[in-house]
Structure 1
Amino acid sequence: QKTSTSMEKEEVHLLSLPALPSLNSIQNPSSITYYPPILRQVWKWKDDTLGNGRDYILPKPRALRDFNSLLVGQSFTFLEDNDNNSNGGVKKRKVVVEECATLSNCARMDVLLSTKIITTSSSNNTTEEEDGTLLPITTSKEAVR
């Protein structure tokens, strides 16, 4: 017999993009810490679109509005073990971005996200999507691989 419970909560997340050192400002290029390509790409986009602040920062409200609108309404779903459930059930979490604010200057870019998290716990070995598709259970260890 399948039983499920659902719970909603809201959370606020701060994503802070660290400044990357420029090659011109570093005395010893071999001492540069590795930064993932996606981080360099985001900084390039930030500098190209919002300004790099070397002279001064010009407000870019339309660019920030467009960036924020890309994030608002986005959602993702993941499954995890329900360790508190002796029946071997799973938890399905759906995270929805409800609001977004971005602060940017020459040295930083911060994105503040207000999210709604919908958690559904199930007591059997599958969980059903809205369209009836059954999703397999993955344990935390399997998800890391």
Structure 2
Amino acid sequence: MTTALHLANADDFAKLDPLVEAFHSEMQIATSPESRNAGLMPLLQGSPYGAAYLLGPRRAPVGYVVVTFGWSVEFGGMDAFIDEVFIRPAIRGRGVASEALIGLAKALENVDVCALHLEVDRDDEKALKLYRRAGFQPRERYMLMTRQLR
């Protein structure tokens, strides 16, 4: 199986938004249509801060991944953070997410991204197995901390 990664644009909002809504519902993240629009549209309109990709066939995507960009002195340049990754439940377990994450890492490496990070629930064994399969390793000394500003 080869999972296609399609850079999403504003014309893809109607396909992407229901996937994001499904992910947020599954993860019990309270969002509104307005907040999803505010989070997605800049990425779909070419923001340099991140990108959204549709996974699988562009006309009927089976998932998505959102990546954001930053800078790291530790890693020596631009780094990226997988903000969200979602595969429709009926499609899970077929290697789509693994292929997409591996393909995304290769694509980002080719544009000089030095490190790719993500956040995972320490108790989610399936997700941990997926991310390890895709080449991610835990950083045992560190944990992600957040201060919400708005």
TM-score interval w.r.t. the shorter chain? Answer: under 0.3
- Structure with higher helix content: 2
TM-score (normalizing by structure 2)? 0.23
TM-score (normalizing by structure 1)? 0.23
- Structure with higher strand content: 1
Q: Tell which has more relative contact order, 1 or 2 (C-alpha 8 A, sep 6+).
A: 1
